Structure 1
Amino acid sequence: MKKPLKRRDFLGRTTLAALATASLGACTSRENPTKVAPASLPQEEEDKFSEELAKNRQMPRDLVMKMLDQKVDQYMQLSHHCAQSSFLALKDQFGLKGEQVIKALTPMPGIAERGETCGAVTGPLMAMGLIYGRDLHHLDDWDTYQESLVPTGHFCELFEKEFGTTLCHKVQEGKFGRCYRLTDPGELQKFQNAGATEKCSEVVRSAVHMAAEIILDYQGI
């Protein structure tokens, strides 16, 4: 008999949960998450995410987005790193844990700067994986895995609709008119001279907005 799906307190979820959600095919076509049958929100008053989610839902939506923009700009100026900055903005805004995830995201922009999946996709997927994913002690919970693909898949669809792709080198072509080999020091310097931090921050802000809108509107938690 199939066990009913249980939404667990995500605060104990590990880096593995986030990595699994992002790597096992989240960027596939899924239905709009607002159509998913509602599930109960976490009941524990001490649940930091539940508290922060409620606070964010009560605030004007444009204020939430402005707060996220400030976080993105702060982290991008400090790190010049789309994956870590996008994750950190969502982590801070929604009270997520995930210090180990920050370190794990270090090589993720473009997947080791190979021009593959954009870090502005990977970072939000990690944050959403912490919220919707399954943990180390429930790796056989196929229902949670499948349901996690609804909000994360919708995020990927929104990103692709906005930028035409989820690939770093294609996003670069759209923003810079060309792509750069970022493992080459000379190319990296040209990339920075072309306004990389500012232009990539625009992408990160848009991606974080998309993820936040889904988190705020999704009724599966």
Structure 2
Amino acid sequence: MEKKTVEKIAKKAYDLGFSFEKEYRGCAQCAIAALQDALEVRNPETDAIFKAATGMAGGGARQIDGNCGAYAGGTMMIGYHVGRERDNFADPEQIRMENFRLVKKLHQRFIDEFGTVTCSEIHTRTMGRPFYIEDPDEFQKFENAGAHTDKCTRVVALAAKWSTEILAEEGYLDK
């Protein structure tokens, strides 16, 4: 795929991720939806991935102590493109190792940008401290810190962009 085409798709993924997180919330689902639309892979399979990601928001059920939902969403969509199939559970071709290689690239981009893939630590890096968003007062402080203005919105946007770039760099968008 041509570099200009990849850049255009990656920008679309970024823009969609940002706007979906701003409007709808749910970082994992917003990253997945951005990738579905930017990569034009919305179908019953990816809609099932979207649905399955519901509880991954805010580090898992908004508890903030797990992986960033945007990271999880990007990981899941990389898996959609290159992942072990249930009908090939034994995986003699070692497809899962190829998946791990790609997801490690996404992981590294998170580390390079945020120093972590953990929700609460990303809060600290982007907003100065973690916010327990289940608590209404903390949620308001989270919002006031810019969570859905330019902080979590940017994290989701980057996850969608990076996932697109990784899939393109590895030739999976040509297939």
TM-score tier by shorter-chain length is 0.7 to 0.9
Q: Distance in 2 between matches of 1:121 and 1:105?
A: 11
Q: Distance in 2 between matches of 1:154 and 1:195?
A: 28
- Ranges of 4+ aligned residues in structure 1 off by more than 6 Å: none
Q: What residue in structure 2 maps to residue 68 of structure 1?
A: 13
Q: Check the 8 A contact 1:88/1:102 in 2, yes or no.
A: yes
Give the deviation of 1:169 after TM superposition. Answer: 0.5
1:179 aligns with 2:120: no
- Over aligned residue pairs, what C-alpha RMSD do you find? 1.8
1:163 aligns with 2:114: yes
TM-score (norm 1): 0.69
- Matching of residues 10-29 of structure 1 within 5 Å: none
**Structure number with larger C-alpha Rg:** 1
Q: What residue in structure 1 maps to residue 95 of structure 2?
A: 144
Q: What residue in structure 2 maps to residue 107 of structure 1?
A: 55
Q: Distance in 2 between matches of 1:150 and 1:62?
A: 22
1:117 aligns with 2:67: yes
Cα distance per residue 1:28-68 (max 9 Å; x no partner)? xxxxxxxxxxxxxxxxxxxxxxxxxx5xx464443223212
Q: Check the 8 A contact 2:17/2:30 in 1, yes or no.
A: yes
Q: Distance in 2 between matches of 1:127 and 1:214?
A: 11
Q: Check the 8 A contact 1:159/1:210 in 2, yes or no.
A: no
Q: Could you tell me which amino acid in structure 2 is paired with residue 127 of structure 1?
A: M
Pick one of 78, 84, 87 that aligns with 2:29. Answer: 84
Structure 2: segments with no counterpart, 5+ residues: none
Percent identical pairs in the alignment equals: 29
Pick one of 126, 148, 163 that aligns with 2:76. Answer: 126
1:93 aligns with 2:2: no
Q: What residue in structure 2 maps to residue 135 of structure 1?
A: 85
Give the deviation of 1:201 after TM superposition. Answer: 0.9
